[in-house]
């Protein structure tokens, strides 16, 4: 798990791997992070690892973008 404090931009970023997603209670973590936030308008943003092959997905995205050029 990686937590980046970007409160100056209005959010706190949390990066979770697939394994961490299985064990993390995001509701509790969100409440904890927001309780320590300086701004009452701060949001928590989660970045979750996907389940598919990153190389194949990236390759497909690049090929699709090349067709649109």
- In the structure, what pLDDT confidence band is assigned to residue 69 with cuts at 50, 70 and 90? confident
Answer for the pair 38, 8: CB distance below 8 angstroms, yes or no.
no
How far apart are the C-alpha atoms of 68 and 65, rounded to whole Å? 5
The model's pLDDT over 2-35, given as tens digits with 9 standing for 90+, comes to 999 999 999 999 999 999 999 999 999 999 999 9
Three-class DSSP category at 51: coil
How far apart are the C-alpha atoms of 59 and 45, rounded to whole Å? 26
65-67-68-69 Cα dihedral, nearest 10 degrees: 100
Q: What is the pTM assigned to this prediction?
A: 0.74
């Amino acid at each position: 798990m990686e937590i980046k404090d970007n409160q100056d931009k209005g959010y706190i970023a949390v990066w979770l791997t697939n394994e961490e997603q299985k064990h993390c209670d995001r509701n509790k973590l969100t409440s904890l992070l927001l309780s320590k936030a300086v701004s009452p308008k701060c949001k928590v943003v989660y970045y979750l690892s996907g389940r598919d092959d990153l190389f194949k997905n990236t390759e497909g995205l690049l090929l699709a973008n090349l067709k649109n050029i």
